[in-house]
Amino acid sequence: MTLDTLSGWARRLQAGEISSRELTELYLDRIERLDPDINSFVTVTREQALAAADAADQRLARGERAPLLGLPVAQKDIFCTRGVRTSCGSRMLDAFVAPYDASVVERMNAAGAVMLGKTNMDEFAMGSSNETSHYGPVLNPWDPERVPGGSSGGSAAAVAARLVPAATGTDTGGSIRQPAAFCGVTGLKPTYGRVSRYGMIAFASSLDQGGPMAASAEDCALMLNAMAGFDSRDSTSLERPDEDFTAGLDRDLKGLRIGLPREYFGDGLHADVRRAVQDALAVLRERGAEPVEISLPNSDLSVPAYYVVAPAECSSNLARYDGVRFGHRCNDPRDLMDLYTRSRAEGFGAEVKRRIMIGTYVLSAGYYDAYYLKAQKVRRLIAEDFRRAFEQVDVIAGPTTPELPFRLGEKSADPVRMYLSDIYTIAANLAGLPGLSMPAGTIGSLPVGLQLIGNYFDEGRLLNVAHQFQQETGWHQRMPAAFA
């Protein structure tokens, strides 16, 4: 059977051309056969998925309609799922079975989605390569010797290999957009507060945001319709009118002002990536968009500011994993201090420990003002840069990543080089803005991503621009040869 997109399957389900059970079995079989090659899933929920598919078929037979009714999806293993292990890619939570569903999971279940399983990820979402997972690295479907990006690398790789039509991800500093670029799929980080964080295991609470990953912008719009919405259980959730993100996909781009930050096209950008991005921008110009050169003068401060703010919040959030209430507990502790020390030492991996230590340091007496407070001031400057830019332009565009997917182990011993993989994505998180990455070309067989950043709550515009680009190009339709 020819594989289709999430939106394509939705139309075929509604037309009665295929049943949800047949569709679910198709993807479960692909996961069983092909996932050992890339390690994108931590847990596969076969029986639960088939039961949900049968229930969806009964609803379809009754003529019911729901946004994702009968459609198979995967959840990043950072979202709590009732009765299913939620590990966050860590030994610390290897045995944790969530007693409730995250808001995102609730909303997608209510929309009729069929969950196939939980995808692999960097431990506690800390990483840019998906090499920090307790369950081993995810491999890039385009080249298994290269990383898929992180932390949502499992979701990106599973969608790229067509093991699932769509999956959820989370983005703290680029963790949806960077793996989307490395794996040649479309990924959207919504405005901070647009999607509830309730039941999404916290890394950095002022930065984390859940979002969709799929082959196309149309698929991401369909997913976001189900995911977005106010949740009183999340104090950072924003109350907004309901919005149909598929409604504006077909708007033309005539007169659209696209800002091109000169800082995103300077030193450090791989020459081949630059050419692919410029070719993609030429397609948008042909569709009527007007390029405008802009400046984001404080963008070079985004990485240092992020790596103060994020570890500080991480050190606070991860203090709850102490071997007492839930999570990994060491054997035969001598006393309470030994319980805390050994449980955390055994449960956390090297990158998580590194960020906890950095965060504890910058929050400590005598250093709070020098580091954390100053980073928050820089964060405000970065947000002001965007505010001024959006007085001139409608959308900002540039490369998602400065380079092609790098080789496994290439940056493991050099954290700073690893952190610079997110140099173009972090600023949107610091400012709370929506951002999208879409496939924009290939260098050899490796994908290149084009990033779009929008003003607050302008996800519809980002999806519209991406959809119009994808009407002209076929990059989002390409599949790795080994999985075709």
Residue 175: active-site member: yes
Which position among 20, 76, 155, 237 bears the catalytic label?
A: 76
Number of H helices, E strands in the chain: 15, 11
**Within 10 A of 72 (CB to CB), how many other CB atoms are there?**
29
Q: What is the pLDDT of residues 401-428, one digit of tens each?
A: 999 999 999 998 888 889 888 999 999 9
List CB contacts of 276: < 8 A, sequence separation 6 or more: 440, 441, 442, 443, 448
Cα distances (angstroms) measured from residue 109 to each of 7, 66, 102, 233, 472: 17, 10, 11, 18, 33
pLDDT value of residue 100:
97
Q: What is the pLDDT of residues 58-88, one digit of tens each?
A: 999 999 999 999 999 999 999 999 999 999 9
Cα distances (angstroms) measured from residue 435 to each of 108, 173, 202, 250: 21, 11, 20, 19
Which position among 7, 175, 299, 302 bears the catalytic label?
A: 175
pLDDT value of residue 416:
84
pLDDT value of residue 465:
98
Residue 411: active-site member: no
pLDDT value of residue 190:
98
Residue 401 carries which side chain, given as an amino acid letter?
A: T
**Which of 216, 215, 224, 256 has its CA nearest to residue 243?**
224
- Please, which residues bridge with residue 146 across strands? 407
Chunked in runs of 10, what are the mean pLDDT values of the chain (484 residues)?
Answer: 92 96 98 98 98 97 94 98 98 97 98 98 97 98 97 98 98 98 98 98 97 98 97 96 95 97 93 96 97 96 96 96 93 95 96 96 91 96 98 98 96 88 96 98 96 98 98 96 92
**0.95 surpassed by pTM:** yes
CB 428 within 8 Å of CB 189: yes
CB 224 within 8 Å of CB 211: yes
Question: Distance between the two ends of the chain, CA-based, in angstroms?
Answer: 11
Q: What is the DSSP letter of 405?
A: P
List CB contacts of 232: < 8 A, sequence separation 6 or more: none
Q: What is the DSSP letter of 346?
A: H
Rounded (10°) angle between helices 6-14 and 20-34: 150
Domain range list for the chain: 6-256+457-483
Residue 151: active-site member: yes
CB 154 within 8 Å of CB 76: yes
Whose tokens are 């930065």? That residue is: 207
Topology of the domain covering 6-256+457-483 = Amidase signature (AS) enzymes (3.90.1300)
Q: What is the DSSP letter of 336?
A: H
**Which of 11, 12, 44 has its CA nearest to residue 27?**
44
Which position among 7, 20, 133, 151 bears the catalytic label?
A: 151
pLDDT value of residue 157:
98
Cα distances (angstroms) measured from residue 449 to each of 144, 182, 326, 374: 19, 7, 39, 32
Rounded to whole angstroms, the Cα distance separating 35 from 138 reads 10
Give me the phi and psi of 212, to 5 degrees please: -90, 150
Angle made by CA atoms 66, 24, 480, in degrees to the nearest 5: 110
| Residue 149 region by backbone torsions, left for phi larger than 0, else alpha for psi between -120 and 50, else beta | left
